[in-house]
Amino acid sequence: MSYESCELQVLNPATEEVVATVRGATAQDVDAAVVRAADAQARWAALSPADRARALRRFAAVVDEHLEELARLEVTEAGHTIGNARWEAGNVRDLLDYAAGGVERLNGRQIPVPGGLDVTLLEPLGVVGVIAPWNFPMPIAAWGTAPALAAGNAVILKPAETTPLTALRLAELALEAGLPEHLFQVLPGEGPVAGNALVEHPGVAKIVFTGSTRVGKQIMAKCADRVKRVTLELGGKSPNIVFADADIEAAALSAPMSFLDNSGQDCCARTRILVQRTVYDRFLELLAPAVESVVVGDPADEKTQMGPLISKTQLERVTSYVSGDAPGIRGTAPEGPGFWFPPTVLTEVDPHARVAVEEVFGPVAVVLPFEDEAEAVRLANATEYGLSGSIWTRDVGRALRVSQAVRAGNLSVNSHSSVRYWTPFGGYKQSGLGRELGPDALTAFTETKNVFISTEA
Ligand code: NAD
């Protein structure tokens, strides 16, 4: 275990200026936080459901009052467009409200048995560790935190190294809203130090991890050692399947932002555009101007559609996938300081090439032609991932057949939506384990206890 503290430098990705320096937590800090959290959790779980629900609604209201401030902080530390950042802060508020509504509805069951009464109790797990990535720092932190608190747990959140500021602010707002001290603690720090200490800590009952498949596998292995509960939300390489019978114009015009939103740093990005061969040329004709006209620039400008990548490391990674002379469509990006990469669509790509199978996590998509429905499904499933995908067709039967055949957790037909806080979200295959959000979000943070009471004693 490492007991060494570190300094985390937070950069504005649009300017490369240092905006804050934050102390990284050590394993010792995690130990102390777990002790405090366990104490707070016992008191929190003993409150009446109505009191816990009210406290979470107050937290939601305080987040709402600070929505613009939180959004601006997200623009500064993550380079998100201001429009997206406002949505993200609003998503935190909505999640807290939604989870608050679940506290009084977290019902067990009564199961008919002879000789007595059988009931199930849904009990909180205890202390939950939430390890969040940098690509959607606020919403993803809240996806784990809000339902875990609502189900009676305490939460220790470890934000990503590059984006700790909104998380730290949310912890302050929780206290301002009157949530018990130490119930929701934020420990910024390095993954292998603070993150790992949470994973290994015997006092942490569950880990909710969102991040790369590589780290997710390591965490799952460590959790297995302790039979620790774990939810994993990992990578994606999602298909956008366009059939010849679709509204081709709508499909082509909506395709750019389905992989350029958040500069492509989105686990649901539709980065494999599969187009039926008979409409392939027409689709590309429509796609090219739509990609070229995407407004890339200062994320604080209301008109901007795409900002910078998060870091120099990410820029180098994305650049390694695209050779300068590769055929395709390219948009524009600012020059000078900041981690900029232009919107890029590659054509004439070998379906087995790295860029066609690996998660780039940047504004890069490939377009691949297919002949018929069977080939579309085969190509869509030819990936180790299975997070999301889109299907464009006017044929209802085909929409249903392909929705059933594509092995992914979140599909949308004639649209690219995938995340709503009141519908379940999660991955097939190596995109993850378990589900977040939706009506069952709270039960993922409980143990089911079965109690039989004899009527014959
Ligand atoms: P990452 O795996 O590098 O880091 C994620 C988090 O894990 C960070 O907080 C990091 O500090 C921590 N971490 C790193 N090593 C650790 C260790 N050994 N032990 C414990 N914690 C550790 O991922 P990233 O680069 O921050 O995020 C990008 C990835 O996240 C992409 O692959 C993306 O697809 C995925 N993602 C998935 C979803 C989803 O819901 N499925 C959502 C967003 C992002």
260 in Cβ contact with 305 (< 8 Å) = yes
430 lines ligand 1 (CB under 6 A): no
Dihedrals φ, ψ of 287, to 5°? -70, -40
Mean pLDDT for the stretch of residues 104-121 = 98
**pLDDT number for residue 5:** 74
Please give the number of the atom of ligand 1 that sits closest to the Cα of 198: 20
Lowest mean pLDDT across 99-108, 116-125, 318-327, 446-455:
318-327
Which residue's CA is minimally distant from atom 42 of ligand 1?
Answer: 267
Residue 52 makes CB contacts below 8 A (sequence gap 6+) with 44, 103, 149, 150, 152
The H or E element containing residue 199 is helix 196-200
For residue 195, what is the DSSP state?
I
What backbone torsions phi and psi does residue 279 show, to the nearest 5 degrees? -115, 10
**Catalytic residue set:** 233, 267
* N residues, the chain: 457
Instruction: Give yes or no for residue 71 CB within 6 A of ligand 1.
Output: no
Q: Is the pLDDT of residue 34 over 90?
A: yes
Instruction: Name which of 136, 261, 272 is nearest 211 in CA terms.
Output: 136
Give the whole-angstrom CA distance, residue 74 versus residue 83: 11
Q: What average pLDDT does the segment 405-429 reach?
A: 95
Has this prediction a pTM greater than 0.95?
yes
Region 81-104: what's the mean pLDDT?
98
Smallest CA separation from ligand 1 atom 14, residue = 191
Those residues whose C-beta lies under 8 Å from the C-beta of residue 267, and which sit 6 or more positions away, are 135, 210, 233, 234, 235, 236, 359, 387, 388, 431
Q: Which CATH superfamily is domain 6-234+431-454 in?
A: Aldehyde Dehydrogenase; Chain A, domain 1 (3.40.605.10)
Q: Which of 12, 80, 123 is nearest to 449 (CA)?
A: 123
- Looking at residue 26, the DSSP 8-state letter turns out to be P
DSSP H or E run through 450: strand 446-454
For residue 28, give the amino acid letter.
Q
In testing the pocket of ligand 1, which one of 134, 196, 204, 215 has its CB within 8 Å of the most ligand atoms? 215
What pLDDT does 3 receive? Answer: 54
| CA distance between the termini of the chain | 53
Indicate if the pLDDT at residue 418 is higher than 90.
no
Model pLDDT for residues 236-283, shown as the tens digit of each residue: 999 999 999 999 999 999 999 999 999 999 999 999 999 999 999 999
Q: pLDDT band for 1, please (50, 70, 90 cuts).
A: very low
**∠ CA 303-329-368 to the nearest 5 degrees?**
120
As a CATH number, domain 239-419 is: 3.40.309.10
Q: pLDDT band at 154, cuts 50/70/90?
A: very high
Give, in order, the Cα–Cα distances in Å from 33 to each of 19, 130, 148, 203, 227: 26, 13, 17, 10, 22
Q: Which residues pair with 22 in a beta bridge?
A: 8
**Alpha helices per DSSP H over 109-163:** 137-150
Does 164 contact ligand 1 (Cβ within 6 A)? Answer: no
Q: Is 427 in the pocket of ligand 1 (CB under 6 A)?
A: yes
Tell me the C-alpha to C-alpha distance, in Å, between residue 436 and each of 143, 156, 204, 220, 231: 7, 17, 19, 17, 8
Cα 132 to middle of ligand 1, angstroms: 6
Q: In angstroms, rounded to a whole number, what is the distance separating the alpha carbons of residues 431 and 359? A: 11
User: How far is it, in rounded angstroms, from Cα 286 to Cα 254?
Assistant: 10
- Helix/strand/coil percentages in the chain, nearest 5: 40, 20, 40
Q: Using alpha carbons only, what angle is made at residue 132 by residues 128 and 136, rounded to the nearest 5 degrees?
A: 135
From its phi and psi, is residue 327 left (phi > 0), alpha (psi between -120 and 50) or beta?
A: beta
Q: Is the CB of 199 under 6 A from ligand 1?
A: yes
- In DSSP terms, 242 is beta-bridged to 275, 392
Tell me the torsion sign for CA atoms 280, 237, 254, 286. Answer: negative
C-alpha of residue 113 to centroid of ligand 1, in Å: 45
d(CA 456, CA 116): 7
For residue range 302-349, what is the model confidence (pLDDT) as tens digits?
999 999 999 999 999 999 999 888 999 999 999 989 999 999 999 999
| Side chain identity at residue 357, one-letter code | V
Instruction: For 45-74, give one letter per residue: b (16+ CB within 10 A) or e.
Output: eeeeeeebbebbbbbbebbbebbeebbbbb
176-211: per-residue pLDDT in tens?
999 999 999 999 999 999 999 999 999 999 999 999
| E strand map for 260-372 | 272-276, 328-330, 344-346, 364-370
C-alpha 81 chain-centroid distance: 17
Which among 157, 161, 210 is the best mutation to test ligand 1's pocket, defined by most ligand atoms within 8 Å of the CB? Answer: 210
**What's the DSSP call for residue 2?**
-
Instruction: Answer whether 386 contacts ligand 1 (Cβ < 6 A).
Output: no
Q: Using a 6 Å cutoff on CB, does residue 132 contact ligand 1?
A: yes
Which tokens is 234 given? 């990992």
Domain boundaries, the chain: 6-234+431-454, 239-419
- CA 119 – ligand 1 centroid, Å: 39
Q: What local confidence, expressed as pLDDT, does residue 324 receive?
A: 84
Question: Which among 222, 163, 233, 232 is positioned nearest to 192, based on CA atoms?
Answer: 222
The pLDDT > 70 percentage for the chain reads 99
Q: Is 160 in the pocket of ligand 1 (CB under 6 A)?
A: yes
Angle formed by the axes of helices 280-292 and 248-260, nearest 10°: 50
> How does pLDDT run across 224-242, given as a tens digit for each residue?
999 999 999 999 999 999 9
Question: By percentage, how much of the chain surpasses pLDDT 90?
Answer: 97
Tell the residue nearest (CA) to atom 9 of ligand 1: 160
Three-class DSSP category at 113: coil
Radius of gyration of the chain (CA): 23
The rounded mean pLDDT for the chain is: 97
